[in-house]
Structure 1
């Protein structure tokens, strides 16, 4: 009822406001959820990676990060009500957290970014309590010692929300692997949101976000890092969705 199947990954249909309400309810009831933020490239990676597909499909919430996912859901006849990005969730839930006394832990990004983000969020949202920050050394995979260090730092302060900025899907693997050991209400991976919210990376204009062109703006800003993702991988998305839609319509006609 609450998710739509796009390329065998199940994406939540809630919009930003509804997702923020779920976050608040989770903390108020002292529940615990794992959240993935899933743009097009994540769904494409999951399609050929069963473990990653399981991580997204077993998440309590898997948000639609990108207008193309909205278009795809409409084509499939099961529309998503609005895009939900890490770039929006972090600043918007900071306002709610400040009003309600919720606490954050910021894990990831380059050295110093999380500390500057802490200062920025607390200045812009008086009353917000960022109880910890940590930027681990860059590594494809962390050592057991480093993993335990991060878990200990987080559990020592017991934040309501753990925001993880380790890039996708690395952050999703890490949260999934250690989720049961984390003393938090919400654990969510938000990609480059730390860098964008703190101002190190400029976000696209609102009109580009509205029309699904945020990817193009990012590509212009970081062509060497993102050309493969947006020019080689992403174009596969539309034909795959069209094939899925065609197959589902054929099956519905046969069942009728």
Structure 2
């Protein structure tokens, strides 16, 4: 197993500033498709269960270290890891940068009209930037052809430079990878539940909890139905320990 990997996935070793500079450089001179994937313990475990998702993560143009669990695993495994950059934090930063560049931003997903409401909120906050929101797909596991037709018709006419998709992982990443042709020239990123936090639909954890990397625990307390998802955290710990033993 490569030195800079956890569960076989290469872990980035970059600063927040370096990540932002690369994204903004791409926006200035777009070529192909820039897919950003947030890495956390849950989706690293999914890469061990879903070969297609693993390939999507391995071939992504950019990955960021989102979950604190990856940071801790890196210390245990002596893996060099860059600055932790949460998905919601990067989305916020890119939107602020977009406001200085008068970019076109498209938000897809979330429950009901959440993306539309969030786009309207940002339009009021940053009137010089163009924001557009649409629900897009009602059920990522049961996509309707007419839903995709509508989305890509809007993409073709609106020509967004930044695209944020909230369908949940791994569905959002698999969907974006399947449609790299339709999103050519775009910076695309799956952001999971970020729309809920940014719209204040769900209260964000206090700053001290965010700094401790305990957002996952805060969400579990406030959304107990998420407990099944935390089972992957247990599996992640087990797989990391196995990697440590094998390494020694």
TM-score by length of 1: 0.89
Cross-structure match for 1:23? 23
Q: Would the aligned equivalents of 2:136 and 2:148 in 1 still touch at CA under 8 Å?
A: no
**Cα distance in structure 2, aligned partners of 1:128 and 1:114:** 16
1:11, 1:108 → 2: CA distance? 27
Q: Hey, what does 1:244 align to over in structure 2?
A: 243
Distance in structure 1 (CA, Å) of the matches to 2:13 and 2:138: 34
Name the count of aligned residue pairs: 244
| Structure 2 residue aligned with 1:252 | none
Aligned residue number for residue 171 of structure 2: 170
Q: How does 1:35-46 map to 2 (within 5 A)?
A: 35-46=36-47
Does 2:208 correspond to 1:197?
no
Structure 1 segment 230-241 matched on structure 2, within 5 A: 230=230, 232-241=231-240
Q: Distance in 2 between matches of 1:202 and 1:4?
A: 35
Residues 1:33 and 2:39 aligned together: no
Q: Using the alignment, how far apart are the partners of 1:4 and 1:206 within structure 2?
A: 30
Please report the TM-score for the alignment, with normalisation by the length of structure 2: 0.92
Could you say what secondary structure the match of 1:99 adopts? helix
Give distance in 2, aligned partners of 1:183 and 1:158. 10
> Match for residue 161 of structure 2?
160
Q: Distance in 1 between matches of 2:42 and 2:171?
A: 13
Residue 110 (str. 1) matches residue 111 (str. 2):
yes
Asked whether the 8 Å contact 1:23–1:186 carries over to 2, the reply is yes
Change over 3 Å in CA distance of 1:79–1:126 after alignment to 2: farther
Q: Kindly tell me: are residues 129 and 4 of structure 1, through their superposed partners in 2, closer, same or farther at Cα, counting changes over 3 Å?
A: farther
Secondary structure of the structure 2 residue equivalent to 1:181: coil
Residues of 1 paired with 2:127 and 2:207: CA distance?
26
| Cα shift at 1:13 | 2.3
CA RMSD of aligned residues (A): 1.7
Deviations 1:231-255 (Å, cap 9, x if unpaired)?
x221121231122133234xxxxxx
- 8 Å contact from structure 1 (residues 42, 168) kept in 2: yes
Matches within 5 A, 1:77-92: 77-92=78-93
- Give the 3-state SS of the residue equivalent to 1:199 in structure 2: coil
Aligned twin of 2:53: 52
1:125 and 2:126 are equivalent in the alignment: yes
